[in-house]
Structure 1
């Protein structure tokens, strides 16, 4: 039997523990149930912008080891040019027991160790040369992977249904560029609509689209491999090299005999 309890607070009534527990538990239970089928990764927000001296990390929601974390304020993190690859990470501390709470602390770090450990999540990376400017604008799609002086977020894992997927910003960029080519391929149009309108596109759908569009067998791939495949599809669409259409228009056909 299920019920919905909403505590009532009246003057002169005793404040009961159960009433406070209801207020405490309901929001957390709602969040946990809503995102229970999501994989670990970024659920919302956590966008990173750059200026001449700082990385600006936006608000957002992240799921890590099954626990949902709310990042409720913007943070600014100074960076320097080292010429070596540097990764922006969220580092999750072990549970700490306080007098009235269990505490799960997090921190942002810039780390020269590019591997991501079990207590970390990546928000992006860069390799900045001395005297150069770090940029986060991309004049063409595969510029997302430019090695030097570019903010790279292709590796970042966003929460998906049971497995992580790519950042929605990457798929929106690809989808808009794909539509600009004037492609009439049915796979292209369907995928572009999904990439523009959906909050996220599931990893399996992306991989199935790539295999269908390129005429290859379905196989898993890393985020970087997926972005490269999408770049190849975009170049083919720009050059007019579209795969043979499987479906033909039905109806009467007219034959002209000379």
Structure 2
């Protein structure tokens, strides 16, 4: 049954092993239970910025093979211009046994091998020309996918309730740009509200929105395909084109035959 145990430390009382085990296990169990329904992927943070010739990986939480990893300090990695597509990976090491701990460590790798192993997760990628400057700022939504000299995180998997989903920053970029078009489409407004306010937007919701808005129905799609579809929606909203499927009030319809 449910229980809540809080150790009581009193002067003159014997410090018992069970009291220390409670302090050790409670935070870990709480985190594991809170994120139990989430898939593997980034849960929070882990944003990557470009500063002074370095990639700066922010603090965050990531889940891999059901295990929760916490990064409580930012990490910096120098990068080079090679002209080749390069991926920043977080690599999960095998378990090691220390005197007082079982350790599951990680380290970062900049790799031109674009395949992802079972012990790796992608944090982003870039293709930097010699003499160019890498950037992580995006003046418009589809600039996220610019091939050269731009930090690209569209392929990164974030933990979802059933399937991995897209980085929340992608949906925020899209939602803010969509609202600037002054769209009055009900689907656009509802989705943009989710994209801006929600901690994450589940993959199924994104796919249902895209399928409804573009008229081809629910369709499983990769992250880059999703970003491309969202770009099409923005172009339609900017040009004032009507969505392929619209909600219409019920009522009598007239058909005029010439």
One fold, TM greater than 0.5?
Answer: yes
The aligned counterpart of 2:89 is 89
Identify the range of structure 1 (44-53 vs 165-174) with the bigger mean alpha-carbon deviation. Answer: 44-53
User: Per-residue deviation at 1:218?
Assistant: 1.2
- The answer on whether the counterparts of 1:175 and 1:193 sit within 8 Å (CA) in structure 2 is yes
The aligned counterpart of 1:192 is 192
Q: Does 1:240 align with 2:248?
A: no
Structure 2 gap ranges (5+): 252-258
> How much is the aligned-residue C-alpha RMSD, in angstroms?
1.3
Q: Distance in 2 between matches of 1:129 and 1:38?
A: 38
Q: Deviations over 1:84-107 (max 9, x none)?
A: 011111000011112211100100
User: Per-residue deviation at 1:249?
Assistant: 7.9
The aligned counterpart of 1:178 is 178
Identify the range of structure 1 (240-249 vs 193-202) with the bigger mean alpha-carbon deviation. Answer: 240-249
Q: Distance in 1 between matches of 2:193 and 2:72?
A: 31
SS at match of 2:107: strand
User: Per-residue deviation at 1:80?
Assistant: 0.6
Q: Deviations over 1:207-248 (max 9, x none)?
A: 000000000031111000000000000001000112253222
Structure 1 gap ranges (5+): 251-258
The aligned counterpart of 1:74 is 74
SS at match of 2:43: strand
Q: Distance in 2 between matches of 1:60 and 1:102?
A: 21
- The answer on whether the counterparts of 1:52 and 1:133 sit within 8 Å (CA) in structure 2 is no
SS at match of 1:30: helix
Kindly report which structure 2 residues correspond to 1:26-65, keeping only aligned pairs within 5 A, or say none.
26-65=26-65
SS at match of 1:36: coil
The aligned counterpart of 1:146 is 146
Kindly report which structure 2 residues correspond to 1:4-15, keeping only aligned pairs within 5 A, or say none.
4-15=4-15
Q: Distance in 2 between matches of 1:184 and 1:73?
A: 43
The aligned counterpart of 2:118 is 118
Q: Distance in 1 between matches of 2:118 and 2:147?
A: 25
Q: Distance in 2 between matches of 1:2 and 1:187?
A: 42
Kindly report which structure 2 residues correspond to 1:203-214, keeping only aligned pairs within 5 A, or say none.
203-214=203-214
- Count residues in correspondence: 251
Q: Distance in 1 between matches of 2:157 and 2:44?
A: 11
User: Per-residue deviation at 1:115?
Assistant: 1.0
Q: Distance in 1 between matches of 2:2 and 2:180?
A: 52
Q: Distance in 2 between matches of 1:41 and 1:51?
A: 25
- The answer on whether the counterparts of 1:52 and 1:134 sit within 8 Å (CA) in structure 2 is no
Q: Distance in 1 between matches of 2:177 and 2:2?
A: 49
